[in-house]
Structure 1
Amino acid sequence: MIMAGVISLMAVRAGTNAGISKVRPILMIYGVT
């Protein structure tokens, strides 16, 4: 049960990291233009 919580937490963290890495270049492009 604890292991499942850790895995889900890691998955959420990986998802947020991926989302930030995808959004950041878009924000940079908008900031430049």
Structure 2
Amino acid sequence: MAEIEIQVHETATACFISTRCLTTSSMQMCWKT
């Protein structure tokens, strides 16, 4: 299995490098698979 990198950003702009993004009320979680 490959390593999963989880990054939490307050802005959606920083999520462009992520494969999948999950948007919350004031936070966005992005992870590369």
Provide the TM-score with structure 2 as the length reference.
0.21
The structure showing larger relative contact order (alpha-carbon pairs under 8 Å, at least 6 residues apart) is 2
Normalised TM-score (structure 1) = 0.21
Give the greater-gyration-radius structure (CA): 1
Higher strand share: 2
If each structure's helix is expressed as a fraction of its own residues, which one has the higher value? 1
